Chains A and B, each alone.
Chain A
Amino acid sequence: MNQLLFLLEKEFRQVFRNPAILRSVLVMPFIQLLIFPFAANFEVKNVLLSIVDHDHSSYSQKFISKITSSGYFILTDYSPSYQKAITAIERDKADLIVEIPQGFEKNLVRENKGTMLLAVNAVNGTKANLGGAYAANIIRDFNTEIQMQWMTFPAFNAIPTIEITSSNWYNPTMNYKDFMVPGILVTLLTMIGTFLSSLNIVQEKEIGTIEQINVSPIHKSIFIIGKLIPFWIMGLATLTIGLLVSRLFYQIIPIGNIGLIYLFAMVFLVALLGVGLLVSTYAETQTQATFVGFFIMMLFMLLGGLYTSIDSMPEWAKWITKVNPVAYFIEVMRMIVLKGSGFTDIKYHLLSVLGLAVFFNSWAILNYRKRS
């Protein structure tokens, strides 16, 4: 116990004497959390539209004014031919081409049907999907309008219709920040935790001070625990700052129990730091540790369910998310903060992360050798 206290004293001195570490733990998350949630917005507001109208009829005009006034599209290009419109897509001046063929009105009036071509730039799947869906909706409305104009409907409803109502729970205003701020907070915690802990032991190796530890009677598990605790405390400090920022600047007040967030974060940090220390015991130089740390960090973050949905991933990638503590924490954060989930709802997540914590830390202790 005494040994541990001395080790802790040493580690804390090192931390407090290194302004770079303190800055990265306290100031950087603060700034990044203030800026980046504004960037993290999947909402596709403005689909850039290019129109090729070969018909120039009152119906095509009517359709064009309908689609441009819908609010989803910005008309950026009005081309005489499809080829010209494609150039607009190539230059990213347009995302969607609507081509109205010659004789559109004639066909619609005489044969009761017309066609038009929608071509979307599908490199970015979200935009393509949404743009196509918006346009299809507008065409459906357009159809109904014409029908209303030309047909007299019977007084009672002759066609079986299913009325669909939808509601959005937990976030009725569909605010992206409610969703992103807790997630980005976890990302920041992950970055700091992995980075600092993966550099830590290897730095002692590189500057040679590890020798002094190796000749001391300190047991290696005490050594690892001594390394872990300071970062663990700093991680909790970062979390506190992050929660304060989300409360003060984004008005995000957890619906669930805040103590539960801390409980989960405590276990999560042990798992995360365990990964970092594991990297540190394998690496020979700080560069190696950073590279491997970076690799794991990217893996944890991108396969964490914050940026793209885990449901859509292939099976093998879903298995990776099962050993990813970040994926659990992001989900738990959302559950507690937005849905008010309680202990019983998250106990499976908690147990999984606890298991990961034990696994990574035992591995780190086993792998650390007190001889070179």
Chain B
Amino acid sequence: MVFSEEKRTEIRSAHVTNKILKMKQFIIFVQKEFYHIFRDRKSLLIIIMMPIVQIILFGFALTNEIKDSNIAIFDNSKDITTAKIIQRLDASRYFNVAKIIHTQEEIETVFKTGKIRLVVVFQPEFEKDLLHGNHAAVQLIADATDPNTATTVTNYATSIIRDYQSDLNVLVQTPYLVTPQLHMLYNPQLKGAYNFVPGVMAMILILISAMMTSVAIVREKEINTMEVLLVSPLKPLLFILSKAIPYIFLSLVNVSTILMVSVTLLEVPINGSLLLLMAEALLFIATAVSLGLMISNITASQQTALMISLMGLLLPTLLLGGFMFPIESMPKPLQIASNLVPSKWFFIIVKDVMIKGLGFKTVWKETLILFGMTLFFLSISLSKFKTRLA
């Protein structure tokens, strides 16, 4: 068939109008979602405020450091030397002498009531043995129900007592001494926030974004407005995207407030490029939102959708996300499973870009993985999307 020149332009312009029309439809759908969000003031307030409060609370409260541990003293000697050692223990930032006990049985009692992490037992005649026999003994008994704390407090107490001993021996020359100089890279004050801000940020971003998106489609099913949407001419892909855009926007607001709070209140610096950090955050949000959409597409009720997105994501992100427990200490199958947790990759990216100040060159692999996950979730949502009601 041969069209005349006129006819061809007509077809072409019709094509263009059609495209504009489709674009307009899409914009209207996006607008509708925004109305949904902005008219529910209470939810909006919760979604905006919650990450701020969480990052402040957890940024300040969570730390891997173990300090201010309560200890008990069982001093069988009660002399000047033991008093000096006790005073040193109490003065350090790691310990707080909470109880003085007088019998062997009491050790059991103080541990059973909970608060004491370590009991320091001085043998009788401690000072006399030390100064005259050059040898005295002290015993450290730790409450090892928490192995990590037990090891750490034992180490701390040992080094405080060792320090006291070497101060005693200051006159005696010890030759052949290698002295280490210790540098703490990136985090000289050993602040917990440097590790927990990126971690908590990854965790709350994925949970909040996935949760709020996961109800987006299923809610329409539940309150029966889905039918209206299904008879509209909008293509499934565009329909899904129109659901995603407002939530991506909201999550970006969350990222900005989280970063603002971290820098100003928690004093965690942004050492790398802010632009790169925001771009990576945008990608991670897209991953989370498409995960939410996928959940929304495969569930039948809001309650189930929320249950899957909250219960299914909370523990894996917390335990396998890398910021709480070291992944390399886990058994192999769990190490492999941790690769499926999107927040793990974002946590690495934020640590590298924000704290270490590295560029895209070091995080391209993680970026690619998040990108692949996003495409995967979106394609599942698209293939599971039903254009008819059951």
Contacts and interface: CB of A to CB of B under 8 A. Distances in A.
Interface of A: 20, 24, 28, 32, 35-36, 38-46, 63, 86, 89-92, 108, 112-129, 132-133, 135-136, 139, 142-143, 146-147, 150-151, 156-172, 174-176, 178-179, 187, 191-192, 195, 199, 203, 284-288, 290-292, 294-295, 297-299, 301-303, 307-309, 311-314, 317, 320, 331, 334-335, 338-342, 345, 349
Interface stretch (B141-149, B369-377, B378-386): B141-149
A167 B190 contact: no
B252 interface: no
Task: Give the top 7 A-B pairs by smallest Cβ distance, nearest first.
Answer: A168-B144, A317-B61, A122-B187, A122-B184, A171-B144, A174-B147, A119-B183
Nearest to B184: A122
B319 interface: yes
A162 B303 contact: no
A153 to B, nearest CB: 12
Contacts of A39: 319-320, 325, 330, 334, 338
Given A170-B145, A179-B147, A195-B310, 18 more contacts: A117-B180, A129-B152, A158-B134, A162-B138, A162-B165, A164-B140, A169-B111, A171-B144, A172-B144, A179-B146, A287-B302, A290-B310, A307-B318, A308-B63, A311-B117, A320-B57, A331-B114, A342-B112
A156 B188 CA distance: 43
Count class of interface residues, chain B: 35 or more
B284 interface: no
Most buried by A among B174, B204, B212: B174
Contacts of A117: 180-181, 183
B5 interface: no
Contact of A136 (B114, B180, B334): B180
Contacts of B190: 122, 125, 128-129
A169 B143 contact: yes
B86 interface: no
Given A122-B188, A133-B155, A302-B62, A151 B304 contact: no
Most buried by A among B67, B69, B155, B184: B184
A77 to B, nearest CB: 15
B42 A288 contact: yes
A161 B165 contact: yes
Contacts of A42: 147-148, 325-326, 329
A46 B184 contact: no
Contact of B181 (A89, A115, A127): A115
A170 to B, nearest CB: 5
Contacts of B318: 301, 307
A113 B318 CA distance: 47
B135 interface: yes
Given A162-B165, A345-B112, A179 B180 contact: no
B69 A113 contact: no
26 contacts: A28-B311, A38-B330, A39-B330, A115-B180, A116-B180, A124-B195, A125-B63, A139-B180, A147-B176, A151-B175, A156-B134, A161-B165, A162-B137, A162-B161, A162-B164, A285-B40, A286-B215, A288-B43, A291-B47, A291-B208, A295-B46, A298-B54, A302-B61, A312-B67, A340-B112, A341-B112
B130 interface: yes
A165 B165 contact: no
